[in-house]
Amino acid sequence: MDLVERFLKYVSFDTQSSEDAGVTPSTPGQMTFARYLKEELEGLGLEDVTLDDNGYLFATLPANTDRPVPTIGFIAHMDTSPDMSGCNVRPRIVQQYDGGDIVLCADEQIVLSPARFPELLAHRGEDLIVTDGHTLLGADDKAGIAEIVSAVVWLQQHPEVEHGRVRIGFNPDEEIGLGAHKFDVEKFGCQWAYTMDGGEVGELEFENFNAASARLTFKGRNVHPGYAKDKMVNSMLVAARFISMLPAWETPEHTEGYEGFFHLTGMQGEVEQTTLNYIIRDHDRARFDARKQLMQRLACALNTEYGEGTVTLELHDQYYNMRRQIEPVMHVVDIAREAMLAAGVEPRVRAIRGGTDGAQLSFKGLPCPNIFAGGLNFHGRYEFVPVQSMEKARDVVVKIIELTARR
């Protein structure tokens, strides 16, 4: 089975995660996929293949040298985003893409167009795997899984390439922020690892957002509107006041690069009670803390104006910028950069405007930068992955393993 066949098989599994399940893995399809992968890895002759009750699958490619070589790992997640269905994915390959529109579904006029997605033009002449417009594709992160497994197969077929012990980890529920929560770093047993969960070719990331969630509850007082003067408190209007007090331009649609934001992700309300859900993001820890403090001050100000208990704020930190954990061991990034160059890939080191399992794993003692898997337009019907990008990602994995042994 080659890389493309492997990937097409993987996307046939429905592995959407769910934020409301309260169990790990959050959906049964993830465990079904994990069992399939377990059988595949066992069939390839890997050692120490284990699958626990929470859907964490580990395996080992044994070293083929007696020299002391660090044990390194490669990690990818099995779930796909809850944002769009991953059931009955029907991929197809657009051979030698010509730079024009790609009709995903003619009947519903669903078109993947460079006019809307100009990144397509960077892949003219390549073979693009696309959807039929009714589901996501699942390259996030089944491309990463296929690349890791294919790299292992390549190394097995080329025993002349010296390498150390390599650990493989496939985990559930990354898309709902829980992929690393039950990841047993001690059992995984690596000195460092890489998540294969990035996008465009060349991406190499060791910085990510500091992240928190915020839930605000606004209490109102409902009175007949005809007799409401000086009595009614409309919780929806108080919530609107809060929204207006935050910096208007510090939202996702107005920020880029290292700029942080407040993102209103949900709202529900009536006169008596309204709730707002936010996520807070910033690469800089001091600015991140200042954003949380601003929310607290605004809540206090509204409580002073409308009465204590009008606004309740719940803040929860989610993950932190892994840069602090990676900087003392920058050789793990240097090896990845060197591997990309050796594989004919120009490294594109940048900060993630998001997070990966690697961020949380880094704070659990496993330094874990993130490397491209090749897919684009994740989490929706316009997702695609160039075959050539997947091949380059596989080659980078091989080169990292090879260079680690040489060092």
Residue by residue, DSSP assigns 142-207 as HHHHHHHHHHHHHHHH-TTS----EEEEEES-GGGT-TTTT--HHHH--SEEEEEEE-STTEEE--
How far apart CA 406 and CA 13 sit, in angstroms, is 38
Q: Which amino acid is at 79?
A: D
pLDDT at 90: 97
Beta bridge partners of 275: 217, 268
Confidence of residue 87 (pLDDT cuts 50, 70, 90): very high
Spatial neighbors of 203 by CB under 8 A, at least 6 apart, are 348, 350, 370, 371, 372
CATH 3.30.70.360 maps onto the chain at: 210-319
pLDDT for 98 equals 97
**List 79, 205, 357, 395, catalytic entry:** 79
> Which among 159, 203, 194 is positioned nearest to 400, based on CA atoms?
194
Residue 327 binned pLDDT confidence (cut-offs 50, 70, 90): very high
The active-site residue out of 174, 205, 207, 250 is: 174
Q: What is the pLDDT of residue 107?
A: 94
- Region 26-40: mean pLDDT is 98
> Residue 1's pLDDT is what?
80
* pLDDT > 90 in the chain, percent: 94
Reduced to 3 states (helix: H, G, I; strand: E, B; else coil), residue 243 is helix
Least Cα distance to 172 among 32, 59, 77 occurs for 77
Q: How are beta strands 128-130 and 166-171 bridged, if at all?
A: unpaired
Q: How confident is the model at residue 403 (pLDDT cuts 50, 70, 90)?
A: very high
Q: Decide if 98 is catalytic.
A: no
pLDDT digits (tens, 9 = 90+) for 298-311: 999 999 999 999 99
- Please report the pLDDT score of residue 19 as a whole number: 85
Residue 221 pLDDT greater than 90, yes or no: yes
How far apart, in whole angstroms, are the C-alpha atoms of residue 315 and residue 291? 11
Quick: pLDDT tens for 332-389. 999 999 999 999 999 999 898 887 889 999 999 999 999 999 999 998 999 999 999 9
HEC string for 84-99: CCCCCCCCEEECCCCC
pLDDT at site 208: 93
Q: What's the CATH fold of domain 210-319? A: Alpha-Beta Plaits (3.30.70)
Structure confidence at residue 212 as a pLDDT band (50, 70, 90): very high
Please give the Cα distance from 379 to 84 (Å, whole number): 6
Cβ–Cβ < 8 Å for 85, 27: no
What tens digit of pLDDT does each residue of 276-298 get? Answer: 999 999 999 999 999 999 999 99
In terms of Cα–Cα distance, which of 150, 194, 174 is closest to 61? 150
Separation of alpha carbons 113 and 338, rounded Å: 34
Catalytic (active site) residue 346:
no
What pLDDT does residue 397 have?
98
pLDDT of 56 reads: 98
DSSP code per residue over 291-346: HHHHHHHHHHHHHHHH-TTSEEEEEEEEE--THHHHGGGTHHHHHHHHHHHHTT--
Does domain 3-207+321-406 fall into CATH 3.40.630.10? yes
- pLDDT at residue number 332: 97
pLDDT mean over 194-219: 95
Structure confidence at residue 20 (pLDDT): 84
Look up residue 275 and give its two tokens.
Answer: 């709730």
Q: What is the pLDDT of residues 130-182, one digit of tens each?
A: 999 999 999 999 999 999 999 999 999 999 999 999 999 999 999 988 899 99
Provide mean pLDDT across the span 46-73: 97
Among 263, 255, 246, which Cα is nearest to 211's? 263
Q: Does the pLDDT at position 270 exceed 90? A: yes
Q: Residue 348: beta bridge partners?
A: 203
What mean pLDDT do residues 95-115 have?
96
Start and end residues for every CATH 3.40.630.10 domain found in the chain: 3-207+321-406
